[in-house]
A and B are shown apart, each in its own frame.
Chain A
Amino acid sequence: QKEVEQNSGPLSVPEGAIASLNCTYSDRGSQSFFWYRQYSGKSPELIMSIYSNGDKEDGRFTAQLNKASQYVSLLIRDSQPSDSATYLCAVYKGSARQLTFGSGTQLTVLP
């Protein structure tokens, strides 16, 4: 079982819809969670960080964390074609002291 798992996609949604990206992790001791967006040929860009159970909203983005079920998700409201990118989930476990990334979900927003 991979430490951090994401559906590779591609995930396609129409413009204006809600895109839902999911990530599960294997270690219950994980403590910090991040979502990055990576455009083709570019470096990852931090979108959200979340540290405690519940929802965290920032503009059109909402991160949701459920430690009991070991998943973290990212919702993108009113999706735009410019949101088309690969979204990377990253999980930090203090005992390992490293950030582990999922393989990413490729999102395409159709105009």
Chain B
Amino acid sequence: KAGVTQTPRYLIKTRGQQVTLSCSPISGHRSVSWYQQTPGQGLQFLFEYFSETQRNKGNFPGRFSGRQFSNSRSEMNVSTLELGDSALYLCASSSQGLAGGSAYEQYFGPGTRLTVT
């Protein structure tokens, strides 16, 4: 089975711009979660999509949004970029994801390294 793919792998943007990142999950997986990883804050949960619906959301401002398509591919958008948004953005693929009483195993993609200047 092919793994999780993310595009682009590297991105440089300027403050105030917006950016869209893409994630294709493992075939058959319906859950895609997005995480931000920085040296200072570590790995933080952004949101989870399951069957085209945002099911869970972390504690991030509304500038961070996402969507999921019928083929389970997901996009994450960050508007009005700030310097502090520089980070590694990771998506994680899971068969059932964060399903209330239990969390199914999540498999990470290679990530998108975003630098905001």
Identify the A interface with B (CB < 8 A). 31-32, 34, 36, 42-46, 49, 51, 88, 90, 92, 94, 97-104
What are 22 A-B pairs with beta-carbon distances under 8 A?
A: A31-B102, A31-B103, A34-B106, A42-B110, A43-B90, A43-B108, A43-B111, A44-B90, A45-B108, A49-B105, A90-B43, A94-B100, A94-B101, A94-B102, A97-B48, A98-B45, A98-B48, A99-B103, A100-B45, A101-B42, A101-B44, A104-B42
In the complex, what distance in Å separates the CA atom of A101 from the CA atom of B102? 16
Identify the B interface with A (CB < 8 A). 33, 42-45, 48, 55-56, 58, 88, 90, 98, 100-103, 105-111
Give 10 nearest A-B pairs by CB, closest first: A92-B103, A32-B103, A101-B43, A97-B56, A98-B45, A43-B108, A43-B111, A103-B42, A44-B108, A94-B101
Instruction: Say yes or no: B98 contacts A43, CB within 8 Å.
Output: no
Question: Distance in Å from the Cβ of B11 to the closest Cβ of chain A?
Answer: 16
Nearest-neighbor residue (CB-CB) of A31 within chain B:
B102
Question: Distance in Å from the Cβ of B38 to the closest Cβ of chain A?
Answer: 11
In the complex, what distance in Å separates the CA atom of A102 from the CA atom of B44? 10
In the complex, what distance in Å separates the CA atom of A51 from the CA atom of B104? 10
In the complex, what distance in Å separates the CA atom of A43 from the CA atom of B111? 6
Contacts A43-B90, A46-B106 given; does A31 touch B43 at CB 8 Å? no
User: Across the interface, which residues of B come within 8 angstroms of A36, CB to CB?
Assistant: 108
In the complex, what distance in Å separates the CA atom of A42 from the CA atom of B110? 7
Contacts A98-B56, A101-B43 given; does A46 touch B98 at CB 8 Å? no
Instruction: Say yes or no: B42 contacts A99, CB within 8 Å.
Output: no
User: Across the interface, which residues of A come within 8 angstroms of B43, CB to CB?
Assistant: 44, 88, 90, 101
In the complex, what distance in Å separates the CA atom of A94 from the CA atom of B90? 22
In the complex, what distance in Å separates the CA atom of A77 from the CA atom of B105? 23
In the complex, what distance in Å separates the CA atom of A92 from the CA atom of B42? 16
Nearest-neighbor residue (CB-CB) of A4 within chain B:
B42
User: Across the interface, which residues of A come within 8 angstroms of B102, CB to CB?
Assistant: 31-32, 51, 92, 94
Knowing that A43-B108, A94-B101, A97-B48 are A-B contacts, what are 9 other residue pairs whose CB atoms are under 8 Å apart, sorted by A's residue number? A31-B101, A34-B103, A34-B105, A43-B110, A92-B98, A98-B45, A99-B45, A100-B45, A102-B42
